Structure 1
C-alpha cells in the first residue's frame, strides 16, 4: 500500500494501491502518517518525496469506505468526523514536518489527493498530470482541500477549481501555482531526484528553521512577520551550521554540515 525507500538522504514514499486509485482510505492515511512520523525523527532523512504507482496520484477520500457508514445509527457522523480529523492531522503533519516534502505527480490528483499535493512544500508534475477538486459534481464541496489550495493559489484560481470542479492540466496547475515544475513524463523521476538532491545537500538544521518560519510568518501581518523573522535570523546565526557555512563561504571551501 505504501512503499518506502531511503537513499542519500531522500526518503521516497510511494502510494501503491493502484486498484483503488491510491485513495486516502483509513489504512492509507495511517500508513502515510506513520511514515512521516518516522521521517521526522530520523536524522538520515533530509527530504521526503511523495509519489505514486498507477495512473492516479490519489483520488482523495475512499467514498465507498465513507458511504458504507451511512447505515450507522448517526448516519455516519461520528465516523465522518474521525476520518476528517485524521486527514487534517496528516496534511498538517506534511506542513509541519521538519524536512522539506516534494510531491511527484504523473497522473490524476483529485479532492483530498489534490489537497495532499498542495500541502507539500514543492511539487513536480509530469506533462500528463491532472488536478481537480470535483466535490461540487457530487454535492460535496471540497472544503478541507480548500484550506491547502487557498494557501497556495491566488484566490480566484482556487475558487475556480473549487466552484467548477473542472480538471486542470499540468500547465494550468503550474500557472495557478499548484506545482513548481512540469517536465516530460520520462524525465519526471530524474527531475524530482535532482531537486531533492539539491535540497538534501543543505544544512538540515537550517532547512528545519526555514520551513517552520515560512509557514508561521505567512499567516502574520507585515510588522509581526518582520519582528518574528528577525528573531529567527538571530537564532539561526548562532547555530553551528550557520557559523560553518559562513566560514566556508569566506574561505571558499565546501561546508561540512553538522545538523545543529
Structure 2
C-alpha cells in the first residue's frame, strides 16, 4: 500500500506532508490513520523542535473523503477519529506550522485552524462547505471558532462562501498570506523564529494559551505569577538569562 502521508525530520524540523493528490488530499481512512501516526511520532521525537504540516499537489486538503463517507453509517465517516487529529495538533507541546499552497475545504480548514501558525499562498482559497452538502461543520468548529471573528464565523459557516488568503488573514484564520513564490521563505522565517524558543517554555506557553481564563482577575494573576516564577527559576530560564548576559545564543538555539 502506497503511503499517503510522509514524515521527514531534518535539523529539528519535522515535516508532515499530505501526499494524496489524486483525491485532493481528502481525509480518507488511510490518510487519517497515517497523519495521526506521523503526528504522534513527531511529538514523541525529542530531536523535533517544530512541526510543519504541508502537502503535495494543487489542493491542501478537500475535507472528508465523500466517496468513503457516502454509504457509511453514523460513527463511520471519520468523525470519531478526526477529533484525535485536531486535538493532537492543538495540544502538541511543539509548535505546528501549516504550509498551505492551495485550497482547503471543510475538514482541511479545521487542520489549518488547529495549527499554531498558518502561512498560505494569497491565491489559496477556503470554504466551510458543509451546509451545502447537508451536514454541519461541528467537529472543526472546535478549532476554527477560537480563531475567527464572530461575524465572519456566522457568515462563512452559514453561507459556505469561498474566500481567499488575504481575507483569511483579516478574519484571524491564518497568520500570513504571501505570493506563492514566497511561501517557503515565509514558512522558513516562522520556523526559525520558533526554533529560537526554549522547548519547555514553548510547551508551557502553548498550554497557557489554550487554558480557560478564570472569572476572577486575582486568580488569573496568581496562576500566571506561579507559571512565570517557575520558568524564571527553571533550567531554561537560567540558561536564557546567562546567554543574554554573555551575548550568545542559548543552548537550545545553537545551530544544528
TM-score range relative to shorter protein: over 0.9
Distance 2:224 2:39 in 1: 27
Matches within 5 A, 1:210-221: 210-217=205-212, 220-221=214-215
Secondary structure of 1:102's match?
strand
User: In 2, are the aligned partners of 1:57 and 1:109 still within 8 Å (CA)?
Assistant: yes
Distance 1:167 1:124 in 2: 18
**Aligned partner of 1:79 among 68, 76, 81:** 76
* 1:173-209 deviation per Cα after TM superposition (whole angstroms, max 9, x unaligned): 0101111111110110121012112211321111111
1:26 equivalent in alignment to 2:29: yes
> Are residues 78 and 171 of structure 1, via their aligned partners in 2, closer, same or farther at CA, if it must alter by over 3 Å?
closer
> Are residues 221 and 105 of structure 1, via their aligned partners in 2, closer, same or farther at CA, if it must alter by over 3 Å?
farther
Distance 2:63 2:89 in 1: 16
Distance 2:214 2:82 in 1: 25
Secondary structure of 1:245's match?
helix
Given the two structures, how large is their TM-score scaled by the length of structure 1?
0.91
1:15 equivalent in alignment to 2:15: no
**Aligned partner of 2:147 among 138, 146, 152:** 152
RMSD over aligned Cα atoms: 1.5
**Aligned partner of 2:70 among 67, 71, 74:** 67
Q: What residue is the counterpart of 1:181 in the other structure?
A: 176
**Aligned partner of 2:57 among 54, 58, 80:** 54
Secondary structure of 1:233's match?
helix
Q: Tell me by how many angstroms 1:17 deviates.
A: 0.1
Secondary structure of 1:85's match?
coil
* 1:14-33 deviation per Cα after TM superposition (whole angstroms, max 9, x unaligned): 10000111011111111111
User: In 2, are the aligned partners of 1:33 and 1:90 still within 8 Å (CA)?
Assistant: yes
Secondary structure of 1:3's match?
strand
More helix by share: 1
User: In 2, are the aligned partners of 1:117 and 1:123 still within 8 Å (CA)?
Assistant: yes
Secondary structure of 2:46's match?
coil
User: In 1, are the aligned partners of 2:6 and 2:38 still within 8 Å (CA)?
Assistant: no
User: In 1, are the aligned partners of 2:64 and 2:107 still within 8 Å (CA)?
Assistant: yes
User: In 1, are the aligned partners of 2:25 and 2:62 still within 8 Å (CA)?
Assistant: yes
> Are residues 86 and 220 of structure 1, via their aligned partners in 2, closer, same or farther at CA, if it must alter by over 3 Å?
farther
Segments of structure 2 that go 5 or more residues without pairing to the other structure are none
Segments of structure 1 that go 5 or more residues without pairing to the other structure are 70-75
Aligned residue pair count: 249
